[in-house]
């Protein structure tokens, strides 16, 4: 069975996979695996569980032990029993025996203390239904508290060229110091960054004869030591993503990417309690073209 350190640098995202063309979507998933991708993150929240259902025929053809699967606990956890109930729903729908990492999608979905929730996830690790504890979309303080009591393997959070919130508050640094792998979603902001056509990014793409997204993925993996998860059902895009690491950015170009960010994201106050404001998982969806 895989550990996270043995997974490919770029994972497979499943949010808003194309369900109207299921055969094409499954073909893309099989193709990704054939090219070596072996990290998948999913949630029962995505399309009301239909994405998880799509992974049932996937796991009929792909051996579960060859895939590192991360699943999210969703709203609402009102008692400890709800945690294993949600996990069992994942296992039943995908017809698998275990998940690799289980994490609370957003801390506000747990109506019981977060430490109690993770104590129960840890019990499920001991039971063999989960292999690793992970976290997602927490504040730095919450992550620090969890790490005091449990050994976390990974943290899934938003990070990209424009939106560096988690770096600015020190959470990336905390993960690196505590051997927690940061898995970043919205790494390309669903192609919104490339659509902006920032002159310096256009120049870098021309300079290295790569796409803008390849420049971004190369920087995220090789410079920032992050694991981006990217959703695509286009075979050419899969190839482009996987060949994004086959070149080296010059130090001055890395510095350009390191220093850039869109201050509009920094001016948003995160609603950690989900009281009607912008929650952290919605942050990178702002300011679309």
* Cα(270)–Cα(238) distance, integer angstroms: 33
Query: Is 289 a residue whose pLDDT tops 90?
Result: no
* Cis amide prior to 57 (ω within 30 degrees): no
Query: Is 36 a residue whose pLDDT tops 90?
Result: yes
CA 161 vs CA 3, 14, 218: distances in Å = 28, 21, 12
Total-model pTM:
0.98
* Cα(9)–Cα(245) distance, integer angstroms: 9
* Cα(259)–Cα(254) distance, integer angstroms: 9
CA 220 vs CA 161, 214, 217, 248: distances in Å = 9, 10, 5, 12
Q: Give all domains of the chain, ordered by start, each with its CATH number.
A: 4-285 (3.20.20.100)
* Nearest to 61, CA basis, from 84, 82, 31: 31
Quick one: DSSP state of residue 157?
E
Q: Which residues contact 63 (CB under 8 A, 6 or more apart)?
A: none
Q: Which residues of 121-146 are buried (b: 16+ CB within 10 A; e: fewer)?
A: bbebbeeebbbbbbbbbbeeebbeeb
Q: Band of the pLDDT at 51, cuts 50, 70, 90?
A: very high
* Cα(76)–Cα(215) distance, integer angstroms: 39
* Cα(138)–Cα(144) distance, integer angstroms: 10
Q: What is the pLDDT of residues 155-200, one digit of tens each?
A: 999 999 999 999 999 999 999 999 999 999 999 999 999 999 999 9
Q: What is the pLDDT of residues 125-156, one digit of tens each?
A: 999 999 999 999 999 999 999 999 999 999 99
**What was the pLDDT predicted at 219?**
99
Across residues 53-63, what is the average pLDDT?
98
Measured torsion, CA atoms of residues 168, 173, 178, 181, in degrees rounded to the nearest 10: 80
Q: What is the pLDDT of residues 222-239, one digit of tens each?
A: 999 999 999 999 999 999
* Nearest to 150, CA basis, from 101, 99, 77, 89: 101
């Amino acid at each position: 069975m895989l550990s996270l350190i043995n997974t490919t640098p770029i994972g497979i995202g499943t949010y808003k996979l194309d369900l109207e063309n299921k055969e094409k979507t499954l073909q893309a998933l099989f193709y990704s695996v054939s090219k070596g991708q072996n990290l998948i993150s999913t949630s029962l929240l995505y399309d009301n569980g239909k994405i998880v259902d799509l992974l049932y025929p996937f796991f009929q053809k792909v051996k579960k032990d060859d895939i590192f699967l991360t699943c999210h606990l969703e709203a609402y956890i009102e008692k400890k029993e709800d945690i294993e109930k949600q996990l069992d729903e994942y296992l039943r729908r995908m017809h698998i025996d275990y998940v690799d990492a289980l994490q609370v999608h957003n801390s506000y979905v747990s109506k019981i203390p977060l430490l109690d929730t993770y104590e129960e996830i840890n019990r499920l690790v001991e039971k063999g239904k989960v292999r690793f504890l992970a976290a997602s979309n927490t504040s730095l303080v919450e992550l620090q508290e969890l790490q005091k009591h449990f050994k976390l393997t990974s943290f899934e959070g938003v990070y990209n060229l424009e939106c560096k919130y988690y770096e600015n508050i020190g959470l990336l640094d905390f993960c690196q110091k505590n051997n927690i792998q940061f898995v970043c979603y919205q790494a390309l902001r669903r192609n919104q960054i490339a659509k902006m056509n920032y002159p310096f990014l256009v120049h870098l793409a021309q300079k290295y004869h790569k796409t803008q997204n390849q420049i971004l993925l190369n920087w995220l993996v090789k410079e920032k030591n992050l694991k981006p998860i990217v959703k695509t059902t286009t075979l050419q895009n899969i190839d482009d993503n996987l060949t994004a690491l086959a070149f080296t950015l010059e130090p001055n170009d890395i510095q350009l990417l390191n220093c850039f960010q869109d201050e509009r994201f920094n001016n948003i106050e995160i609603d950690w309690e989900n009281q009607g404001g912008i929650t952290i998982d919605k942050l990178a969806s702002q300011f679309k073209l």
